């Protein structure tokens, strides 16, 4: 097993580049990229890093030269022959050839596009602008680089033994969490922690710990590279990015109101089975479900990624029942800032009523709370989101108003069109 403390103490970026493969990304990125490839490859989209935790001065903590070095290294990466073979021949969600030969051919020739980087006060401004199919690929590796550079900056003055103790304590914490989860009957849980991980080696260790500690309850990892290396399932569906871009492309308010369902219609053409998971909260879950076409109720399940998870699950149950569906046969995936106590609470509440699944993210792969100097190793909330589409602003409402993204005037316009109503704000920790 890798001696993480020794590698952290003695690393150089050439030995341990933060992102070491095109596949060091989340599976949903490849699924969405194929949908984009088929329909909107040349749509111009701008992504940007948004540090919600403004108290974390990334512009002072991270050396811009080191950040540029890591980003430029990513731009040198290409899909290897073995990685291409894995994508072509592996079975994903029970299906072979999930990715078309044309898409794989594009991915084999893909190189990460240019970026713009500058320091603005205490923060970094990192922007990716260009064809949607290319810029979308930056989201996961860019976040992984920033998070690991932050971790390295905080740990750089620690000695060998300090690092050994720190990682021993962190490993113990993860293992104790896993042991708490182990008794839960019919638990289904996956690693969703790539974007805000402490580091690649640490995420890989966490996946191995879950694989050994949870057995069949461990469903897999969102990280394609780790899934390939550890021979576990690659998991994930889609994200808010799709409806955000489709909405920005709408020419009228009527067309805008229908864009979330156009996304689902396109997704239904591309994927089936357990990949048909509704993500309703981009512009507010309530009205989304109430106005959904009849065919949406036939989908496998729903992902609840903002707002109160119990309320979200109960709303989904009522909706399925109102549409003549049996909730016991449906799947609800919870993925918003989860840790053990919340997983236990949700699992207990819905036991026997719906099938539950959990996407465990930052507090699996980056829970060093209380271990670093002065709390500076604590995880924080940072995202890479669509800012504009063909020059028009992009908007996300969420079921938590503190997660809303976009110009204030556009947010209010979207709230009116989608009937978002009163929303309860909840702290965004990760």
For residue 117, the model assigns a pLDDT of 98
For residue 15, the model assigns a pLDDT of 62
Q: Tell me whether strands 277-278 and 301-304 are parallel, antiparallel or unpaired.
A: parallel
What angle is formed at CA 419 by the lines to CA 413 and CA 424, rounded to 5 degrees?
A: 100
For residue 427, the model assigns a pLDDT of 77
For residue 420, the model assigns a pLDDT of 84
Flag whether the pTM goes above 0.85.
yes
> How many other CB atoms are there within 10 angstroms of residue 262's CB atom?
16
For residue 373, the model assigns a pLDDT of 83
Q: Tell me whether strands 91-92 and 95-96 are parallel, antiparallel or unpaired.
A: antiparallel
pLDDT digits (tens, 9 = 90+) for 127-182: 999 999 999 999 999 999 999 999 999 999 899 999 999 999 999 999 999 999 99
CATH 3.20.140.10 at 4-370+382-418, yes or no = yes
Report the alpha-carbon distance of residue 43 to residue 390 in Å, rounded. 7
For residue 11, the model assigns a pLDDT of 66
For residue 320, the model assigns a pLDDT of 98
Q: Output the six-digit token pair for 181.
A: 């989860």
Q: Which residues pair with 221 in a beta bridge?
A: 191, 234
Would you kindly state where each structural domain of the chain is located, as residue ranges?
4-370+382-418
Evaluate whether 27 touches 227 at the Cβ level (below 8 Å).
Answer: yes
For residue 425, the model assigns a pLDDT of 80
Report the alpha-carbon distance of residue 66 to residue 168 in Å, rounded. 28
**Regions in the chain scoring below 50 on pLDDT:** 13
Note the Cα 380 to chain centre separation in Å: 14
Q: Which residues pair with 123 in a beta bridge?
A: 120
Report the alpha-carbon distance of residue 224 to residue 28 in Å, rounded. 9
């Amino acid at each position: 097993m890798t001696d993480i403390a020794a590698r952290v103490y003695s690393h150089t970026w050439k030995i341990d580049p933060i992102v070491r493969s095109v596949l060091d990304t989340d599976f949903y990125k490849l699924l969405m990229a194929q949908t984009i490839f088929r329909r909107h490859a040349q749509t111009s989209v701008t992504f940007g890093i948004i540090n919600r935790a403004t108290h974390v001065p990334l512009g002072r903590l991270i050396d811009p030269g080191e950040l540029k070095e890591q980003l430029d290294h990513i731009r040198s990466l290409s899909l290897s022959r073995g990685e291409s073979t894995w994508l072509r021949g592996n079975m994903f969600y029970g299906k072979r050839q999930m990715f078309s030969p044309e898409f794989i051919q594009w991915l084999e020739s893909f190189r990460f596009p240019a970026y713009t980087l500058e320091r603005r006060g205490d923060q970094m401004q990192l922007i990716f602008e260009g064809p949607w199919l290319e810029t979308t690929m930056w989201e996961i590796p860019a976040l992984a680089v920033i998070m690991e550079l932050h971790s390295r900056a905080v740990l750089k003055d620690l000695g060998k033994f300090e690092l050994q103790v720190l990682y021993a304590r962190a490993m113990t914490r993860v293992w104790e969490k896993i042991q708490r989860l182990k008794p839960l009957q019919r638990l289904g849980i996956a690693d969703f922690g790539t974007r805000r991980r402490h580091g690649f080696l640490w995420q890989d260790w966490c996946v191995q710990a879950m694989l050994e500690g949870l057995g069949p309850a461990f469903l897999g990892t969102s990280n394609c590279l780790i899934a390939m290396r550890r021979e576990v399932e690659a998991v994930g569906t889609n994200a808010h990015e799709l409806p955000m871009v489709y909405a920005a492309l709408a020419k009228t308010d009527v067309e805008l109101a229908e864009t979330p369902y156009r996304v689902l219609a396109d997704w239904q053409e591309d994927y089936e089975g357990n990949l048909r998971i509704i993500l309703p909260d981009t512009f507010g879950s309530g009205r989304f479900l109430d106005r959904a076409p009849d065919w949406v109720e036939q989908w496998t399940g729903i992902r609840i990624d903002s707002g109160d998870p119990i309320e979200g699950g109960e709303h989904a149950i009522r909706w399925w029942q109102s549409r003549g569906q049996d909730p016991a046969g449906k799947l609800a995936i919870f993925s918003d800032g989860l840790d053990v106590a919340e997983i236990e609470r949700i699992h207990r509440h819905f036991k026997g009523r719906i099938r539950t699944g959990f996407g465990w993210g930052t507090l699996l792969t980056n829970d060093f709370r209380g271990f670093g100097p002065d709390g500076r190793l604590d995880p924080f909330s940072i995202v890479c989101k669509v800012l504009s589409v063909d020059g028009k602003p992009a908007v996300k409402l969420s079921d938590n108003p503190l997660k809303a993204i976009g110009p204030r005037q556009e947010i209010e316009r979207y709230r009116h069109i989608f009937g978002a109503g009163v929303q309860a704000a909840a702290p965004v920790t990760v």
